[in-house]
Amino acid sequence: MTESAQTPSLYDRLGGTFGIAALMDVLTDRLYDNVSANRNPDVQKLHETNSRAGFKFMVTAWSIQETGGPQCYPGRDMREAHENMVATEYDFDVVALEIAATLSFCGVPQQEAKEYLDIIESYRHDVLTASAGKGNTPSAASA
């Protein structure tokens, strides 16, 4: 038996589809209600024009796929999905911090939380936009 066959995937260790769906249910509500995230007008517009249920589905499917589960995400890649949004380092950090807090709140073990956050971090440069700059400051909407 190979090592990869012996080691359960992050998907499995997070509880599979149902475990990840439960985590993403909590996370997406927290993201919709996060005042700092919603200071970005592009995030606020996304939340106003897209249903919460649809957003939950997309985040759940993406997370299932990215953690080693079934290929079920029907959306665009991260770069394309964020190309019309202005996202700064600060904006990315707000979301990453909310993800970390949610994983902790939901009792995800430290190793699994770190692995999931490493996946999120690997997409930082796909989410950030050139027009947003690379500074670690709040978006213009919060000024």
| Prediction pTM value | 0.86
**Model confidence pLDDT, tens digit, residues 56-100:** 999 999 999 999 999 999 999 999 988 888 999 999 999 999 999
CA nearest 64: which of 12, 123, 127?
12
Q: Find the Cα–Cα–Cα–Cα dihedral 14, 17, 28, 74, rounded to 10°.
A: 130
Any idea which fold 13-136 has?
A: Globin-like (1.10.490)
Q: At what angle do helices 16-33 and 89-105 cross, to 10 degrees?
A: 130
Residues 6+ apart with CB under 8 A from 68: 9, 10, 11, 12
**Model confidence pLDDT, tens digit, residues 8-56:** 999 999 999 999 999 999 999 999 999 999 999 999 998 889 899 999 9
Please state the domain extents for the chain. Answer: 13-136
Is 61 within 8 Å of 50 (Cβ atoms)?
A: no
